[in-house]
Amino acid sequence: MSGPGRKPMGPPRKINFGMLKRVLKMLYSYYPVLLPLTAFCIIFSAATSAVPAIFQQQVIADIQIWYTTGDWEGASKVIIPKILILVGLYAVSIVSVTLYTQLMAYITQGFLNKMRCAMFDKMQDLPIKYFDTRKHGDIMSHYTNDIDTLRQLVSQALPSVLQTSVIVVCVLGIMLYYSFWMTLLVLLGVVLMFTVSKNVGGGSAKYFMRQQAAMGKTEGYIQEMMNGQKVVKVFCHEEKCQEDFDTINEQLFEDSFKAHAFANCLGPIVMNIGNILYVIIATVGGVLLLSNVPNLGISTLIAGGFGVITIDIVIPFLNMTKQFTSNINQFSQQINSIAMALAGAERIFSLMDSEKEEDKGYVTLVDCTVDEAGNITESDHHTGMWAWKHPHSDGTLTYTRLKGHVVLDDVDFGYTEEKTVLHNITLYAEPGQKVAFVGATGAGKTTITNLINRFYDIADGKIRYDGININKIKKSDLRRSLGLVLQETNLFTGTVMDNIRYGNLGASDEECINAAKLAGADDFITRLPDGYNTLLTGNGSNLSQGQRQLISIARAAVADPPVMILDEATSSIDTRTEAIVQKGMDALMKGRTVFVIAHRLSTVKNSDVIMVLEAGRIIERGSHDSLIAEKGKYYQLYTGAFELE
């Protein structure tokens, strides 16, 4: 079966049990005290549940003595204290169970909280390329479906496995204490149960791995279709989308069906093997009892001889057999949860193990003051002036005033090694200059600005910022010096004021309002129901595209960066609004180095330098007038159509 953009899943992969060790290690690192305490409570309550078999055997033996001698008063003096001890153990066990369930709830939710935080922290350090090559819905699935599998593992599967393991070991020890022969018979049945669990449970584990991957792809497709719903409806693509979704969903169905088909038949099979074993033990125990077969067990070895199998051994053995097999069955049921959790953990750790965005920069951006002699001094508050702080190997520091001088020297770049998209790009942006990039879609305009931001690293050549190789500048400081306004706006849930302040979290309300006025956004914001306190949701869906763009421009203005990159910043604004915004943009760009990408040539006409790109190369450069005079590509674009496309 094939689907849109999806390769066949292939044979089911084996589950990676190394993930379990890693999860446990992280769990212990987060709760080094509470986790052992919880484990102790689980072990104590489990061990207590195995004790009644011993008391049952002793009480039956005491009753036999009473029945033989007729001394009920003597028997009661022995039986009643044992019953009271058992009641006391159960009372302590109840306290233990209550404690560990509460601790387990706290540990589970705390662990998931820390895991989500760890994933989100890691996600902030991942390069742009990671998000370019993966569906966002699939990444979101890590925080929902995959994390939920860990919840089941920590809160249910692991405690259950520990509890059943302790009970099985305790019951096995008691069995061996009383009779080797009957214990051997039980173990033969258990071997059969484990064989079935391995084959059937192993099959479910493999398909649970595929189910988690298929679920991530399904969510990724749904998220993609939701984002593009308008496009789907405009082009009447509903039927095709439904077909593609049915294909992906069918794969999820098949993987889930096979996983749960194996999982659901495992419990009944193991349970019925236990029931059959119970009948066999009862039958064999009765035969051994009637035949007075010599008994061998740890108890008889301690006593120094052989005894015979008696009723006080057979009856507790029946209960122990039921308890033993039921816990084996419960253990086998956890295989499914463990399989799903380890499949989810593998996907989570694939994100957490992804290579971070490499940053070997050591030059930082600092606020500074400059005296009359031109000496630069670092300041502990915002002064409106910046400098590059450059530490040297001999321990000295030098400061270079940030002016916004950007040079690209013979730069080559490709998103993949096989295909180069920029060839020999050389340009010089002097401080305060407005440099424009024009060209057809795919010519490489946005790619150049992505390289200046170091969203991607160049393959060859050099990029210098105020004479410093940008590879030496810390990425966070480099990007802090660059203001960016994109064609596609991203507004976050919060007030209009919050979204403007996103550009500078330390900005006051007054500074945010001034930035909005500068961008020409104040007029429409004050007419909103709650003005600057109007709540925006759904990427500002209650605003027009132009209004959203104005807020985005105001956000860049409040950041007050020395270098601005405007990537189709006014493409979503009508001509009348553009005239208003252009005044604010001119004020915003004054004294700054500005890179402008535009299809609308009216926004680049007054640029100091215009670069014309074609197929990743700069084919023309100059001012508007000089390029018009050359009557080359720019002239054709300008005179042929007002819009470059």
Of 290, 324, 352, the one marking the end of a domain is 352
Between 616 and 580, the higher pLDDT residue: 616
Q: Does residue 3 form part of some domain?
A: no
State the total domains in the chain: 3
Q: Does residue 286 form part of some domain?
A: yes
Q: Specify whether 209 is located in the same domain as 282.
A: yes
Q: Specify whether 204 is located in the same domain as 235.
A: yes
Give whole-number Cα distances, 414 to 79, 442, 448, 461, in Å: 85, 13, 11, 13
pLDDT band for 12, please (50, 70, 90 cuts): very low
Residues 644, 637 contacting (CB under 8 angstroms): yes
Can you tell me the distance from the alpha carbon of 187 to that of 173, in angstroms, rounded to the nearest whole number?
12
Q: Specify whether 395 is located in the same domain as 412.
A: no
Between 116 and 135, the higher pLDDT residue: 116
Question: Residue 387: which domain range?
Answer: 364-401
pLDDT surpassing 70 at residue 2? no
Instruction: Give tens-digit pLDDT for 571-582.
Output: 666 677 667 666
Q: Specify whether 297 is located in the same domain as 395.
A: no
Q: Specify whether 55 is located in the same domain as 129.
A: yes
List the single range of 223-232, 377-386, 478-487 with lowest mean pLDDT. 223-232
Q: Specify whether 339 is located in the same domain as 371.
A: no
Q: Specify whether 485 is located in the same domain as 550.
A: yes
Three-state SS for 8-67 is: CCCCCCCCCCHHHHHHHHHHHHHCCCHHHHHHHHHHHHHHHHHCHHHHHHHHHHHHHHHH
Q: Which phi and psi angles does 441 have, rounded to 5°?
A: -60, 130
Q: Does residue 220 form part of some domain?
A: yes
Q: Specify whether 324 is located in the same domain as 368.
A: no
Whether the CA torsion 83, 89, 95, 101 is positive or negative: it is: negative
Average the pLDDT over 26-43 and give the result: 92
pLDDT surpassing 50 at residue 612? yes
Q: Does residue 308 form part of some domain?
A: yes
Is 498 buried (19+), middle (13-18) or exposed (0-12) by CB count in 10 A? middle
For residue 493, the domain's CATH number is: 3.40.50.300
Q: Specify whether 31 is located in the same domain as 131.
A: yes
Between 540 and 411, the higher pLDDT residue: 411
Q: Specify whether 186 is located in the same domain as 265.
A: yes
Instruction: Give tens-digit pLDDT for 491-522.
Output: 888 899 998 998 888 888 998 998 888 888 88
pLDDT band for 37, please (50, 70, 90 cuts): very high
Q: Does residue 78 form part of some domain?
A: yes
Can you tell me the distance from the alpha carbon of 328 to that of 188, in angstroms, rounded to the nearest whole number?
13
Can you tell me the distance from the alpha carbon of 53 to that of 51, in angstroms, rounded to the nearest whole number?
5
Q: Does residue 357 form part of some domain?
A: no
List the single range of 279-293, 303-317, 517-531 with lowest mean pLDDT. 303-317
Average the pLDDT over 114-123 and give the result: 90
pLDDT band for 59, please (50, 70, 90 cuts): low
In whole numbers, what is the pLDDT of the chain averaged over residues?
81
Between 10 and 597, the higher pLDDT residue: 597
Q: Does residue 149 form part of some domain?
A: yes
Q: Does residue 536 form part of some domain?
A: yes
Q: Specify whether 288 is located in the same domain as 422.
A: no
Can you tell me the distance from the alpha carbon of 90 to that of 98, in angstroms, rounded to the nearest whole number?
12
Nearest to 493 by CA among 430, 536, 534, 522: 536
Question: What's the confidence (pLDDT) of residue 644?
Answer: 42
Instruction: Give tens-digit pLDDT for 385-421.
Output: 889 999 988 888 899 888 889 999 999 998 888 888 8
For residue 266, the domain's CATH number is: 1.20.1560.10
Q: Specify whether 446 is located in the same domain as 392.
A: no
